[in-house]
Amino acid sequence: MLTDIATGWTECAPLLFREQTLLVGVLREVCARMPFPLLGFDSDNDSVFINETVRDYCLAERIEFTRCRPYRKNDQAHVEQKNGAIVRRIVGYRRFDGMAAARELAALYARTRLFVNAFQPSFKLAEKERDGARVRKRYHPPATPFDRLLAGPRTSDEVRRRVEALRVDLDPVQLLAEIRSGQQALVAIADSSVALPVDTPASSIPVADFLAGLRTACRMGEVRPTAQPTLKPKRGRRRPDPLVAVTDELRSWFEADPAQTGSELLLRLQKSDPDRYPDALLRTVQRRLKIWRREIASRLVCGIPSQTPAVSISGTYA
């Protein structure tokens, strides 16, 4: 990740493995797509940066190469802040291996750089005053990196024309839909136990469907695919379901009067066959009611079915 301190312009690129020659190739690619020239490069003290290969590249391109102080990790505060605000929010914390993941990650970063730099405003600190234990901060009005670059006094006319031409053709809704598609593809690669081929096509979300989903997105909680936890398969039953013969009847009683408790439903079963349905089945009935109530609540609040997996009610499991 590269972050310009003056404008907040951020560029991201995947690195297959930590190797200095590969890093120089990534730097060349990033510098080629940036709308302004790279004048300085400040890195941490990682060996992938502090080496002769990167030094020679910066000397050849007339880039001032500096590093942070030893054991002062906050010297890279701008990059670390963008790493949390952009990369981790977009990519998440899964592990991605292989060329297929690198291809999807590069495509996702290509869309993210346009969305963040053109449509995501941010604050920049103007001044900070300390009065004892109280700290007063004043910020500049929020602006996007595009706006800061256009308003910068040192920005040349050629850079302004290039930036304005780039933003004319951008659609934030289309970019966000493509970002969601890229996130879904990355999650599928990370959660798959079988390595996918490099030329596997990525699934895309139609813009109309994406816009329709925005109506209920605020009521569904976290919608980023990369931020969803990995669901573990639910352990199946290890003995026959004792309520398999009366599950439909219990469901009909519950739908007729959802306010009934598990004890009341079990009591109705015991009236017909007390020996077959003992009091020990109370927790089983209560768990079944909990699932049914969640399904009804999801339909009433969001208008969508619950994401809870269905309960198996038949058969015997090993």
Which pLDDT belongs to residue 1?
A: 85
Which pLDDT belongs to residue 205?
A: 60
Same domain, 172 and 283: no
Same domain, 190 and 272: no
Report the alpha-carbon distance of residue 235 to residue 273 in Å, rounded.
30
The single residue listed with the structure tokens 């079944």 is 288
Same domain, 60 and 200: yes
User: What's the predicted TM-score (pTM) here?
Assistant: 0.65
CATH number, domain with residue 77? 3.30.420.10
pLDDT value at 145 more than 50: yes
- Show the domain range for 293: 236-318
Which pLDDT belongs to residue 81?
A: 84
Report the alpha-carbon distance of residue 58 to residue 44 in Å, rounded.
15
The single residue listed with the structure tokens 């993941």 is 101
Same domain, 170 and 208: yes
Same domain, 220 and 286: no
Max Cα-Cα span within the chain: 89
DSSP, collapsed to helix, strand or coil, labels residue 82 as helix
Same domain, 17 and 34: yes
The single residue listed with the structure tokens 């934030």 is 172
Of the residues 162, 197, 227, which one is the last residue of a structural domain? 227
Report the alpha-carbon distance of residue 279 to residue 277 in Å, rounded.
7
Which pLDDT belongs to residue 211?
A: 58
Report the alpha-carbon distance of residue 1 to residue 79 in Å, rounded.
7
pLDDT value at 47 more than 50: yes
The predicted-structure confidence for 211-260, as pLDDT tens digits, reads as follows 556 556 555 556 677 777 666 777 777 788 888 889 999 999 998 888 88
Of the residues 227, 258, 290, which one is the last residue of a structural domain? 227
Same domain, 97 and 132: yes
Same domain, 120 and 141: yes
Same domain, 297 and 255: yes
Which pLDDT belongs to residue 311?
A: 40
Which residues have C-beta within 8 Å of that of residue 271, sequence separation ≥ 6? none
Same domain, 70 and 178: yes
- Going by their DSSP bridges, the two strands 10-11 and 2-3 should be labelled as antiparallel
Same domain, 172 and 281: no
The predicted-structure confidence for 212-226, as pLDDT tens digits, reads as follows 565 565 555 566 777
Of the residues 188, 206, 227, which one is the last residue of a structural domain? 227
pLDDT band at residue 312, thresholds of 50, 70 and 90? Answer: very low
Q: In total, how many domains does the chain have?
A: 2
pLDDT band at residue 188, thresholds of 50, 70 and 90? Answer: confident
Same domain, 172 and 254: no
